[in-house]
Amino acid sequence: MAPQLTLQAPLELPPQEVPDYLGRLWEGEQEQANGASTFSLVVWEPAWIEQQLVRLGRLTGPINGLERPELLQAAREAIPVCGLPPSTSPLAPELAWQLGQLPGDASAEDLRGQQVDAAISRHQPRRLITLAPTLDGHRPLETLVAAYCPLPEEGPMTSVCGDVVVMRGGLGALEHGLQMVNPLISAELPCWVWWNGCLDEAPQLFEAVSQAPRRLVVDTAIGSPARALEVLCSRAASGQAISDLNWYRLVSWRESLAMAFDMPSRRDALAHVVQLDIDVQGHQPVQGLLMAAWIADRLGWQLEHTSKAEGEGILASFRRPDGAPVRFRQMPVPVGTPSTHPGSLVGLRLVCEPEGRTPLCVILCGETGGCMRLEAGGMARLELVEEVVATAVESSQKEVSRTLRGGHDSTNPLLCAAAPLAAKLLPN
Amino acid sequence: MTATLTNPLRVGLRQERVISPQCLVIFGASGDLTHRKLIPALFELFRQRRLPSEFAVLGCARRPWSDEEFRAKMEQALAPVIAEDPAAWTTFCGGLFYEPVDLQKDEDVVRLGKRLEQIDRQRATRSNRTFYMSVSPNYYGSGCRALAAAGLLADPKRSRVVIEKPFGRDFASAQDLNRIVNSCAKENQIFRIDHYLGKETVQNILVLRFANTIFEPIWNRNYISSVQITAAETVGVEERAGYYESAGALRDMVQNHLTQMLALTAMEPPGRYEPESIRNEKAKVLQAARLAEEAEPWKCCVRGQYGPGGNSADPLAGYRQEPGVDPNSTTETYVSMKLFIDNWRWQGVPFYLRTGKRMPKRLSEVVLTFREAPVHLFDSAGAGPTANQLILRIQPNEGADFRFEVKAPGSGMRSRPVDMDFSYDESFGEPSDEGYVRLLADAMLGDPTLFTRSDEVEAAWRLYTPLVELIEQQPWQLPVYPYEARTWGPAAADSLLARDGLLWRRP
C-alpha cells in the first residue's frame, strides 16, 4: 500500500502558534470528522542515509524517511564506493558517516512526517509528531502542521482524523524547539516515542522526548551496542514500557529453538547444554547477545566471564544450575547479501550432553546465510537436529505498526530478563 | 502417565495474533457463563500478554451493580486462579466496568452508548467494541436490534456481535433469527459460537487432513467404510434442567457440536486458509448431508433417557428424578443416528452420530473405519483381522491414534492390531488454551474462521428438521428408551448399527 499523504498541504507556522492552531483545527467545516481517541506518536526521523544519498545525487527524492526499495538499492550500491566491507547492512550508521565525507549538493523536497506509511496510518494516530533533523546543523527550526484523515473503506462516512506536526531543522534548533512538544501530547491517550536512529546521536533530545510514561520503541541494531543496551536495561528496570525492534526480529529464532526441544525425549537435554555458538552478520553484536541472554535466562545459567575473542568475536562462560560450565562464543561472519538490519543472526548451534545418552546438537540456520562454520567439526558423534529459520524482512514501519496495534504499558518480561544479561555479555 | 518435563524455552513465547485495543461488552454479565468461562478466559489472555493495555470489559445486566461490585464478584468467583498471580489480577481488574442495562429499554441503550464513549476516553479503546450476548436466546434478536438502533453496530470494522448457542430452536426460528441479526449487522460482524470449534483438537482435524499428503487420497468412500462421531458426558443435567427440558440432546449437542465435527471431517479442502473459504466448504457438505431414512426418520434415529444407576457407593439419580425435571419428562438425554452425505466423496458411507449424558466416560472422538483388505492373506492372532481405524481424540487425552495390523511375534505369519499414537500432551511443550480463550480472542480479532455462518446454521437445522418435526408431531414414532446411568446408551442404539453388521466403538 502506498504511503498516505496528509489531507491538505502542510501549513508552516511559528512554533508558538502551533498549539492554538491545532486546537482550532477541527472546528467549523469539519463537523463530520472526529478526532481519533487512539494514541500519540512521536518519531525521531533523521533518515541520515536517505539525506546523504539524495545530497550525493545517488537517490531521487522526495525524502520521506520510509525504507523504500530504491533507498535500499542505492545504499547497497554505495557500500563499496565508501570502502565499507561487503557485509555492511544498507541501514548501518557507518554508511551514513562515510557518505557524509563525500562531496555533493543535490537536494529534494523533504516530506518526512508528511508521507505516513500505511502500516502506521491504519492505526489512526491522534497526533503524529515528527522530529526531522537536517544535514545542515545550522538550519533554523521550521514547524509544519496538517490534518490527516484516512478514508474509511466501508461503514459510515464519518472520518476518524488526526493531525501531524513536523519539526525540521538543525539539531540545535530542534533541541530549542523541544519545549513545544510536551504540550502537544495528550495526557489522556497513550504516547509512543519511536527513536528511529542511533541512541547516542542526540542524547539530550532523546532524554527530553522519551521520558516515562511514554512508551519507547527503539532499535538496538543501530549505533553503539553499549549505549543501546544501557538504554534498554535502564528503561526496562525503571518500569517504562520499551520495545526493541531488534529483539522482535528474534521471534522466529526463539520459536524454532523452542520447537527443537518440544519433543519430550529431548527436553531433558536442555539441562545439559555444554556449548552455545552464535554467528551474526557484520560487527553489530546486540541481536546475538539478546538471543544468548534469552537462552541463558530461560535455562537458569549464571554468567561467569566474558571477553573479546579473536576476530571481534565474544567469548563467555556460564555456569548451569547443576554447576557444570557452558561455553559461549559469538562470531561476526561475512554474508553475501547482508540483511537490511545490522547484526542479524546468521546461525546458532547448541550442543547438549545429557548423561548416559548420545550428545545432541541443534543447529539453526538463517534462510539467507550459510551454516558451514557451525556444521563443521565432529558432528558424527552427535544426534544432529538442523532447521532453517524462516525470517521475513520487514520495514521498520511495519515492525513499529505491530507494536502500536497491541501495545502494552509494560515491557515484555522476556526482554526485561534478557536485556541485563545481554549487557553483561558485552565485553568492555 | 509419567509427568512430562515442560519446555522452558516455550514460556512466554506464543506467537499469537495481537488483539487490538477495544472494549468487550458482555450482556448478561451477572450470569454464570461470565464468571465461569468469559472472565477466566480474558484473565488468561491478559496473563499471556495477548490483551493490549488499552482494553476494557463492560459487564451489562439488569442487576443494579456498580463497577466495584462487579469486580468484587468476579474476584470471588476466580479466587483460586487469582491466587496464582494476584498482581496480574489487580491490573486486569482495573479494566473491568459495569453498567446496569436492559436492552429492551431505549433509555438504557442510550446510557450504554455514553458509557462506552467514556470508557473510550478513559482507556483509549479506539471506539472498537465486541458485544457478547450471554443472554437468553429469546433476547438475541431484540438485543441486536437495540444495538443497531443506537448506532453501535454501524462500523463493520469496529463492532462485532458474539452470539451463544443455541441459535434458534429449529430451521424456521434459525432463519428468522438470521434475518433479524443480518438486518442489524453484516455477516462478518456476527460470530455464532460453537465452543467445540475452540478446541485445538477440533481445529487439528483440518490440519491433519490438509497439511499431510497421506490422508487426503484415502479420505473418501473408496477407502472408508464408516465414520462414528461420539460426544459422551458423564455428568447429568446438573443445574440446567430449565433449559435442557425444552432442548434435549438433539438441540443441545447434535445440531451444533456433533454437526461441526461432522462438517470438518467430511468437508472438501478449501482453496485457501481463509474464513470464508472454510465456511463455504462446511456449508456445502452440510447441505449435502441427510438422515439415512428421511421419509421414515424413526428408522435411523434412537433417543434415550438415563435412569438411575451408579453403584451403592455412588448411586446416581435418573433424569426424571433430577431437580427441576418433570417426573414424566420425555426429553431425550441420548441421541444416536445414521446419516449419509450425498456427494462424490462420501456417497454410501454411513456416518453414525451419538451423544449422551451419564455415560461411562467423558469423551469426544471421531473414528474413521477403513475398508477391510480385499484378501486376508494372513491368519489373525485375535478373533480376526481388524479394519484399520483412525481415531481422532477430541477430549480427553487429546490426540490421534492409527490402528493397523502388524506381524505378531513368532514363527508363523499371523497379524495383530497395534496402535500408533500421537498425544498433544506429550508432543508439545505447553498445554492448549481452553476453548473460550481461543474463541474470545478470535472474536475480538474479528476472525470468523471458528464461528458458524448463517447458511451453516440453517443447513444444520434443515438436516435435523425431519427429526424435530417427528418429535413434536408424532413423538410416539421416536420413543425415548431408558438406559441405566453410566452405560453406553439404550440397547436400541446397538440395533441401529447391528442392522449394518457394525458395533459402536467401545472407547
Kindly list the structural domains of chain B, giving each domain's residue range(s) and its CATH number in brackets, ordered by start.
Answer: 19-164 (3.40.50.720), 197-434+453-498 (3.30.360.10)
Nearest chain A Cα distance for residue B150, angstroms: 14
Nearest to B12 among A409, A410, A414 (CB): A414
CA–CA gap between residue A353 and residue A339 (Å, rounded): 33
Tell me the ipTM for this assembly: 0.86
Any chain A CB within 8 A of the CB of B14?
Answer: no
What count of Cα atoms within 13 Å lies in the side-chain half-sphere of residue A192? 30
pLDDT of residue A157: 47
Rounded percentage of chain A residues whose pLDDT exceeds 90: 58
- Per-residue pLDDT of B9-61, as tens digits, reads 988 887 667 788 999 999 999 998 999 999 999 999 999 888 999 999 999 99
CB B292 within 8 A of CB B344: no
User: Can you name the residues that pair with A366 across neighbouring β-strands?
Assistant: A389
Half-sphere exposure of A348 (CA within 13 A, CB side): 25
B3 to chain A, any CB pair closer than 8 A? The answer is: no
Cα of B430 to nearest chain A Cα, Å: 9
* More confident site: A367 or A134: A134
Digit-coded pLDDT (tens) for B164-221: 888 888 999 999 999 999 999 999 999 998 878 877 788 888 888 998 999 999 999 9
List of chain A residues whose C-beta atoms are within 8 Å of the C-beta of residue B429: 258, 261-262, 267
pLDDT higher at A29 or A350: A350
Q: What distance in Å separates residue B125's CA from the closest CA in chain A?
A: 7
What was the pLDDT predicted at A57?
95
**Can you tell me the mean pLDDT for A353-362?**
90
User: With an 8 Å Cβ cutoff, are B49 and A409 in contact?
Assistant: no
A242 or A116, higher pLDDT: A242
Give pLDDT, residue A134.
95
pTM to 2 decimal places: 0.85
Give residue A1's pLDDT.
44
Q: Which is higher by pLDDT, B247 or A34?
A: B247
**Does B49 reach chain A within 8 Å, measured CB to CB?**
yes
Confidence grade of residue A160 (pLDDT, cut at 50, 70, 90): low
pLDDT at B324: 92
Q: Which of the four pLDDT bands, split at 50, 70 and 90, describes residue A369?
A: low
* Active site (annotated) includes residue B257: yes
Contact B120 A254 (CB under 8 A): no
| Selected residue of A34, A38, A186, A268 to mutate for chain B interface (largest B Cβ count, 10 A) | A38
Q: Chain B residues with CB inside 8 Å of A257's CB?
A: 9
At residue A161, does pLDDT exceed 90? Answer: no
Residue bearing the bigger pLDDT, B264 or B411 = B264
Q: Does B120 touch chain A if contact means CB atoms closer than 8 Å?
A: yes
Q: Residue B505's CB: how many other CB atoms inside 10 A?
A: 16
Between CA A254 and CA B9 the distance in angstroms is 8
Residue of B18, B121, B428 lying closest to A406 (CB–CB): B18
Question: Is 90 exceeded by the pLDDT of residue B391?
Answer: yes
Each residue's pLDDT tens digit, A47-105: 999 999 999 999 998 999 999 999 999 999 999 999 998 888 999 999 999 999 999 99
Our CA-based measurement puts residue B124 at a distance from the nearest CA of chain A, in whole angstroms, of 6
Over range B64-76, report the average pLDDT: 96
* Coil vs helix vs strand at B194: coil
Is B243 or B341 the better-scoring residue by pLDDT? B341
Q: Encode pLDDT of A116-141 as tens digits.
A: 788 888 888 889 999 999 999 999 99
In chain A, where the domains are located? 4-243, 251-389
What pLDDT does residue B132 have? 97
Q: Whole-number mean pLDDT of chain B?
A: 91
Is any Cβ of chain B less than 8 angstroms from the Cβ of A267? yes
CB contact under 8 A, A407 and B19: no
User: What is the sign, positive or negative, of the torsion defined by CA atoms of A271, A275, A281, A285?
Assistant: positive
Check residues A357 and A276 and name the one with the higher pLDDT: A276
The secondary structure of chain B in percent helix, strand, coil, rounded to multiples of 5, reads 40, 20, 40
Secondary structure string (H, E, C) spanning chain A? CCCEECCCCCEEECHHHHHHHHHHCCCCCHHHCEECCCCEEEEECCCHHHHHHHHCCCCCCCECCCCCHHHHHHHHHHHHHCCCCCCCCCCCHHHHHHHCCCCCCCCCCECCCCEECHHHHCCCCCEEEEEEECCCCCCCCEEEEEEECCCCCCCCCCCEEEEEEEEEECHHHHHHHHHHHHHHCCCCCCEEEEECCCCCCCHHHHHHHCCCCCEEEECCCCCCHHHHHHHHHHHHHCCCCEEEHHHHCCHHHHHHHHHHCCCHHHHHHHHHEEEEEEEEECCCCHHHHHHHHHHHHHHCCEEEEEEEECCCEEEEEEECCCCCEEEEEEEEECCCCCCCCCCCEEEEEEEECCCCCCCEEEEEEECCCCCHHHHCCCCCCCEEEEEEECCCCCCHHHHHHHHHHCCCCCCCHHHHHHHHHHHHHCCC
Chain B residue with CA closest to A37: the answer is B126
For A:269-298, CB contacts with B below 8 A are 270, 295, 298
Which has more confidence, A381 or A85?
Answer: A85
Residue A31 has pLDDT above 60, yes or no: no
Say whether B427 and A264 touch across the interface (CB within 8 A).
Answer: yes
CB < 8 Å to B5, chain A: 264, 267-268
- Closest chain B residue to A126 measured between Cα atoms? B126
Shortest CB distance from B18 goes to which of A39, A188, A402? A402
Peptide bond into B166 cis (omega under 30): yes
Nearest-CB residue to B5 (from A190, A267, A414): A267
What would the pLDDT profile of A290-348 be if each residue is shown by its tens digit? 999 999 999 999 999 999 987 779 999 999 999 999 999 999 988 878 888 889 999 99
Question: DSSP character for B422?
Answer: E
pLDDT exceeds 90 at position B293: yes
The verdict on B12 touching A (C-beta cutoff 8 Å) is yes
Share above pLDDT 70 across residues of chain B, in percent, rounded to a whole number = 97
| Residue B431's pLDDT band (cuts 50, 70, 90) | low
pLDDT computed for residue A123 by the predictor: 84
Q: Using CB atoms, pick whichever of B52, B120, B427 lies closest to residue A37.
A: B120
pLDDT band at B432 (very low <50, low <70, confident <90, very high): low
pLDDT at B32: 86
For residues B449-457, average pLDDT:
90
What CA–CA distance (Å, rounded) separates A360 from A347? 17
- Quick check: B104 contacting A, CB < 8 Å? no
- The pLDDT confidence band at residue A276, using thresholds 50, 70 and 90, is very high
Say what the pLDDT of residue B105 is: 92
Closest CB from B4, B15, B50 relative to A251? B15
